[in-house]
């Protein structure tokens, strides 16, 4: 691998679900149910040469209405707050193809999409016969990616790849068959953007899997992979945890909805 260069990492919150309940997040639940909100993020990397890599692209109003979710800003609006023009983004990693990670392709007309081969096979193959799996996908978004493929705008990843100096993609599966995570070199060391390989810090800390899952064993192995790839627990960024917003310093110019993950956390309560 080439010598890593340092990247800035932004977590950009674009939607939220304040009415989510605790039992929705864990396979093993106790009698003490209660509210446990979740946030929806995309992430952006930028290095000193100005190279930009975006991870995931959220969902749109139509899906939000259908599922009772609340969009606060489009991913493109969120990106513009930290000085990134979605229309000029050339590299976009798709962690997995669930509706809340792979919509809005039209906002990224110049992007090459990096997706695991297994994820495209999963989203278009026999397991989609089951409503249980299919319900979390949006067929229009899947078709958007297929259209992109036919326009030379999909790069398939098979397992692990070094996408740029200091940025590697790693297949973990579990939550979906082709889910991938992103490891990024920063001023504070190796940070892992776990996306839905770890929804919340508590899934990892309590080794209590998230119930929307394709393969539980792979999800549990994924928790171990995340821990191996990250320098410390403070270098692990779960995909939907509101604590990310309170733990990390706000990004200048987008204080209300963006934080810097390449900087040390402000607190770790
Ligand atoms: Zn997901």
CA of 3 to the centre of ligand 1 (A): 32
Query: From ligand 1's centre to the CA of 131, what distance in Å?
Result: 15
What are 160-209's pLDDT values in tens digits? 999 999 999 999 999 999 999 999 999 999 999 999 999 999 999 988 88
Report CA(176)–ligand 1 centroid distance (Å).
7
* Rounded (5°) CA angle 60-65-71: 50
Quick one: DSSP state of residue 107? G
Spatial distance between the Cα atoms of 28 and 73, rounded to a whole number of angstroms: 33
Fold topology of 7-260? Metallo-beta-lactamase; Chain A (3.60.15)
Cα 175 to averaged position of ligand 1 atoms, centre (Å): 7
Q: For the chain, what are the domain ranges?
A: 7-260
Calculate how far, in angstroms, residue 99's C-alpha sits from the geometric centre of ligand 1.
8
Q: Report pLDDT for 84.
A: 98
Question: CA-CA distance, 160 to 115, in Å (whole number)?
Answer: 11
* Mean pLDDT confidence for 134-146: 97
Q: Strand pairing partners for 160?
A: 170
User: The tokens of 206 are what?
Assistant: 């309590």
Whole-number Å distance between alpha carbons of 16 and 19: 9
Distance from C-alpha of 61 to C-alpha of 68, rounded to nearest angstrom: 10
pLDDT for 1 beyond 80: no
């Amino acid at each position: 691998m080439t010598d890593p260069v340092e990247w800035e990492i932004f977590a950009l919150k674009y939607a939220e679900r304040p009415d989510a309940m605790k039992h929705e997040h864990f396979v093993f639940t106790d009698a003490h149910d209660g509210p446990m909100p979740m946030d929806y993020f995309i992430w952006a990397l930028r290095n000193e040469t100005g190279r930009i890599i975006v991870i995931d692209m959220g969902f749109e109003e139509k899906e939000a209405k259908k599922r009772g979710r609340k969009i606060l800003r489009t991913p493109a609006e969120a990106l513009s707050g930290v000085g990134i023009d979605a229309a000029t983004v050339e590299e976009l990693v798709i962690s997995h193809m669930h509706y809340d990670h792979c919509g809005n392709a039209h906002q990224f007309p110049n992007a090459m999409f990096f997706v695991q081969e297994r994820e495209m096979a999963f989203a278009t193959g026999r397991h989609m016969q089951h409503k249980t799996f299919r319900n979390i996908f949006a067929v229009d978004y899947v078709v958007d990616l297929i259209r992109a493929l036919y326009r030379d705008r999909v790069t398939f990843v098979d397992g692990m790849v070094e996408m740029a100096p200091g940025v590697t993609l790693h297949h973990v599966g579990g939550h979906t068959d082709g889910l991938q995570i992103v490891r990024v070199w920063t001023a504070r060391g190796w940070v892992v953007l776990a996306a839905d390989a770890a929804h919340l810090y508590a899934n990892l800390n309590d080794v209590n899997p998230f119930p929307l899952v394709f393969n539980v064993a792979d999800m549990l192995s994924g928790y171990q992979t995340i821990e191996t790839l990250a320098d410390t627990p403070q270098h692990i960024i779960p995909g939907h945890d509101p604590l990310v917003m309170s733990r990390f310093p706000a990004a200048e110019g987008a204080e209300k909805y963006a934080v810097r993950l390449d900087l040390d956390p402000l607190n770790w309560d």
